[in-house]
Copies of this chain bind each other. A is one copy, B any other.
Amino acid sequence: MRAADVGDPVMGRLLDHCGAHDTVTAIQTGTLPESLATDGSKEALLQRRLRRWRARLDIANPAEDLAAGEQAGARLIIPGDPEWPTQLDQLGHGRPLGLWLSGIADLRFSCLKSVAVVGARAATSYGVHVASEFGVGLSETGWTVVSGGAYGIDGAAHRGALAAESPTVVVLACGADVSYPSGHHDLFAQARDQGVIVSECPPGVPPTRGRFLVRNRLIAALSRGTVVVEAALRSGALNTAKHALALDRHLAAVPGPVTSAMSAGCHHLLRERKAVCVTSPEEMIDLVGDLGDDLAPARRGPILPRDSLSESTSRVLDAIPARGSIGPAAVAVAAGVDLSTTLSALGSLAAAGFINRTPAGWRLHKQALPPP
């Protein structure tokens, strides 16, 4: 973990081929295992990597890392451990070599039903509001919120989850004991008390730009689906979205005002039909949940009393103009309904308050006027 760049698939391939022990030997001796048959160009690449890794391995101190982890209250898990989230295996050779965890929640269990809620750091108050609602709503229905612990959308989603007493999962691009951004120190402390902080970096490691990008693949891979709440056209959240698509996870985007640059990234995903439009936590659960279970209630408008009218009564009502009054015979002709049916319909409509009788015939009640 100290030797290779985080998520370096060349290391993953070598480890999968000959295991950790022989990989370390290969790095230390600068000699590839004989069983690794490669063509010339690949061998040159591997040799360059071995040199890069050796320089780092020379200064690495695993015992110190483990001691630092213990002191910081962070545990190290590797593939095969009971707490290892097996969905990370879908990252193939880019799978993390191990994860440092800090917090009381069990990572694997927490991520069984989880949704990544991601978005802009420079979120608007609208975005923060929606992210909190998603944080609360997902948590209250038993879904774990996974996010990156950043300012803006990430923080609001975590806070919503924490408010709902849910074990939220914070995936950091620095050591699990590092408070970055420092303004989220208390948020991270609460996340450790209720949930778990996850990192591929040993304790104490500061964040770098490169680590943010590879971190994003973990957020996407840990959860069943990712929802982008707010994102400018060039936002790290779109990088997470790309990982979600590459991993065949569900991808959703929350729309916002077209006048807001902070929703332009979401609208781009919708426009390209890469993301599903979701407007509520229920709709997100509908997307990522099990078929049949977890269906979002169908959205519909209010039921107007007009809906309960029979076809002929409805025709009679439609025949009564918005202005002025009309006699029953004229109504019958206009509606194309015979006179006795018309008279009975006029009676029902008056009783239901749709129309009023006037000296000149019938007129619409103000409430029943056609839309202006």
Q: List 20 A-B contacts (CB under 8 A).
A: A55-B332, A56-B336, A59-B333, A121-B371, A129-B259, A130-B258, A150-B372, A181-B372, A207-B321, A232-B301, A234-B304, A235-B301, A255-B255, A255-B263, A256-B258, A257-B257, A264-B299, A267-B277, A267-B279, A271-B276
Tell me the residues in window 312-338 of chain A with beta carbons closer than 8 Å to chain B beta carbons.
315, 317-324, 332-334, 336
Option from B180, B268, B324 in Cβ contact (under 8 Å) with A206: B324
Q: Give bound CA distance, A206 to B323, whole Å.
A: 7
Nearest B residue to A232 by beta-carbon distance? B301
For A258, list chain B residues within 8 Å (CB): 130, 254-256, 279-280
Q: Is A84 in the interface zone, CB < 8 Å from B?
A: no
Which of A212, A264, A320, A336 has the most chain B CB within a 10 Å cutoff?
A336
A359 close to chain B: CB less than 8 A = no
* Residues A318 and B209 in contact in the complex (CB < 8 Å), given A255-B263, A256-B258, A271-B276: yes
- Min distance, Cβ A199 to any Cβ of chain B, angstroms: 15
Contact with B along A204-231 (1 / 0, CB 8 A): 0011111110000000000000000000
- The digit string for A147-182, where 1 denotes a CB below 8 A from any CB of B, is 000110000000000000000000001000000110
Given contacts A173-B370, A271-B277, 5 further A-B contacts (CB under 8 A): A233-B301, A234-B300, A234-B302, A255-B277, A267-B279
Indicate if the CB atoms of B208 and A318 lie closer than 8 Å.
yes
Nearest CB in chain B: distance from A246 CB, A: 21
> Are A299 and B370 CB-contacts (below 8 A) given A129-B259, A256-B255, A279-B267?
no
Closest to A315 in B: B210
Chain A contact patch, size range:
35 or more
Does A109 lie at the interface of the complex (its beta carbon under 8 Å from any beta carbon of B)? no
| CB-contact partner of A300 in B233, B278, B372, under 8 A | B233
The smallest beta-carbon distance between A157 and chain B, in angstroms, is 15
Q: Determine how close the nearest CB of chain B comes to the CB of A288; give it in whole angstroms.
A: 14
**Which B residues are CB-close (under 8 A) to A263?**
255
Chain A contact surface mostly: loop
Task: List B contacts of A17 (CB < 8 A).
Answer: none
- List residues of chain B with CB within 8 A of the CB of A266: 255
A209 and B255 contact, Cβ closer than 8 Å, known pairs A268-B299, A273-B273: no
Q: Is A236 part of the binding interface, using a Cβ–Cβ cutoff of 8 Å? A: yes
Question: In the complex, which residues of chain B have a beta carbon less than 8 angstroms from the beta carbon of A52?
Answer: 336
Which residue on chain B has the smallest CB distance to residue A260? B257
Bound CA span A200–B315, Å? 18
Residues of B within 8 A of A273 (CB): 273
Q: Which of B151, B180, B277 is the one whose CB lies under 8 Å from A277?
A: B277
User: Is there contact, CB below 8 Å, between B210 and A318?
Assistant: yes
Min distance, Cβ A155 to any Cβ of chain B, angstroms = 10
Q: Which one of B130, B180, B236 contacts A259 once the chains associate, using CB atoms below 8 Å?
A: B130
Q: Is A193 interfacial (CB-CB < 8 Å)?
A: no
Give chain B nearest CB distance to A243 CB in angstroms: 17
- In the bound complex, how far is the Cα of B234 from the Cα of A299, in angstroms? 10
Q: How far is the CA of A181 from the CA of B277 in the complex (A)?
A: 35
Partner of A279, one of B129, B264, B277, B372: B264
